[in-house]
């Protein structure tokens, strides 16, 4: 009789526990059949495949990169259909060290001589359209994050997303989804913090380049760790450095530098963490980095406020 269905005849035995099971309880196994209880216990005892440096291996390493690309594309489309460079969304999402007074009819233009919200309101009182756009020092801390997803020029977003598509799946396959997201956002926020400190307070900065430079740095660290061939990667990094230096009047070298440094630091924490209590060391290191970023932002805000 079946052990689960009293009174039902059963002629098959579970290959693991030996109990009789009826056709409704038979679960096909590699050899013979197993009962539902043994299948459930086996699933709990089977460890999920681990990534090389801890965490669970991603079933689809490209998924996270696709989602990030989708978010970037959605923000770019929003900016494009609301005026492109003149869209008010650029002012809201881009990183601005200190607030500025913008032309109400053309947010891309601002009044540098009216550097306070009160002075900006005087322009509005005179009958000319103007809007005060706050910066990080004025409390718009979200810009440190949202600027990472903000693009205006099609070539800008195109190059960044192409690089993310090439680099992201490789890294997620090595470090898993959670650690990949730690890397991406950690490098991006480090880039934003360096921009906040080193760029002119009135300069508007945006783009995913800081996070992308962090991914390049991550592959470099892992390549050195495993003794891989890194010459092509060094050439690619070198080309991007040359482009950054030669175009520094239009390109945020601060964001690129900060993102690269953040990528180096985070990846070193991930791949060189002791195997004993590896997860604790990795997440503690990331927590320490976030504290440093927060401290630097607060210190800079104190200077600009």
| CA separation for the pair 27, 175 (Å, rounded) | 34
7 lies in which domain range? 1-39
Averaged over 293-303, what is the pLDDT?
97
Q: Is 106 contained in some domain?
A: no
Residue 81 belongs to a domain: no
The CATH number covering residue 259 comes to: 1.20.1540.10
d(CA 58, CA 79): 32
- pTM for this model (two decimals): 0.80
- Asked if 164 and 297 sit in the same domain, the reply is yes
Structural domain includes residue 181: yes
Residue 30 DSSP one-character state: S
d(C-alpha 63, C-alpha 70), whole Å: 11
The predicted pLDDT at position 72 comes to 98
Report for 21-35, 96-110, 176-190, 237-251: range of highest mean pLDDT: 176-190
Number of domains in the chain: 2
17 & 156 share domain: no
Q: Does residue 68 belong to any structural domain of this protein?
A: no
In a domain, 165, yes or no: yes
Q: Which 8-state DSSP code applies to residue 305?
A: -
What does the mean pLDDT of the chain come to? 89
- Residue 184's nearest CA partner among 213, 150, 144 is 213
Which band of pLDDT confidence, cut at 50, 70 and 90, is reported for residue 302? very high
Encode pLDDT of 206-222 as tens digits: 999 999 999 999 999 99
Question: Which SS3 state, helix, strand or coil, does residue 3 take?
Answer: coil
Shared-domain flag, residues 150 and 295: yes
Domain assignment of residue 211, yes or no: yes
CA–CA separation, 167 vs 165, rounded Å? Answer: 6
Which has the closest alpha carbon to 253: 181, 183, 197?
197
- Return d(Cα 185, Cα 84) in angstroms, integer: 25
Both tokens of residue 103? 């032309």
Residue 121 maps to a domain: no
User: Does residue 55 form part of some domain?
Assistant: no
Note whether 192 and 210 are within 8 A (CB). Answer: yes
- Encoded tokens for 28: 């096909």
Per-residue pLDDT at 299 exceeds 60:
yes
Residue 100 three-state SS: strand
Nearest residue to 272 (alpha-carbon basis) of 6, 5, 54: 54
Model pLDDT for residues 235-285, shown as the tens digit of each residue: 999 999 999 999 888 899 999 999 999 999 999 999 999 999 999 999 999
DSSP 16: T
State pLDDT tens for residues 115-172: 677 777 777 666 676 777 889 999 999 999 999 999 999 999 999 999 999 999 999 9
- In this prediction, residue 210 carries a pLDDT of 96
């Amino acid at each position: 009789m079946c052990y689960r269905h009293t009174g039902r005849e059963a002629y098959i035995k579970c290959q693991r526990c030996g109990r009789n099971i009826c056709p409704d309880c038979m679960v096909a196994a590699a050899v013979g059949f197993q009962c539902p209880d043994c299948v459930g216990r086996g699933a709990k005892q089977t460890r999920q495949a681990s990534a090389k440096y801890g965490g669970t291996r991603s079933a689809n390493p490209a998924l996270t990169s696709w989602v990030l690309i989708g978010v970037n594309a959605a923000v770019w489309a929003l900016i494009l259909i609301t005026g492109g460079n003149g869209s008010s969304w650029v002012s809201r999402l881009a990183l601005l060290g200190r607030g500025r007074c913008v032309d109400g009819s053309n947010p891309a233009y601002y009044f540098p001589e009216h550097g306070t919200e009160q002075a900006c309101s005087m322009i509005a009182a005179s009958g000319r359209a103007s809007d005060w756009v706050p910066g990080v020092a004025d409390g718009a801390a979200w810009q440190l994050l949202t600027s990472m997803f903000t693009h205006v020029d099609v070539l800008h977003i195109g190059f960044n997303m192409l690089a993310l598509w090439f680099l992201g799946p490789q890294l997620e396959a090595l470090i898993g989804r959670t650690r990949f997201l730690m890397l991406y956002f950690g490098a991006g926020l480090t880039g934003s913090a360096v921009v906040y400190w080193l760029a002119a307070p009135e300069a508007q900065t945006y783009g995913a380049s800081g996070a992308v430079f962090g991914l390049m740095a991550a592959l470099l660290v892992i390549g050195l760790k495993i003794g891989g061939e890194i010459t092509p990667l060094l050439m690619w990094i070198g080309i991007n450095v040359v482009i950054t230096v030669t175009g520094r009047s239009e390109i945020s070298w601060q964001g690129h530098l900060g993102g690269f440094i953040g990528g180096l630091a985070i990846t070193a924490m991930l791949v060189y963490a002791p195997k004993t209590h590896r997860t604790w060391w990795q997440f503690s290191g990331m927590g320490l980095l976030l504290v440093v970023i927060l401290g630097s932002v607060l210190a800079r805000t104190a200077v600009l406020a």
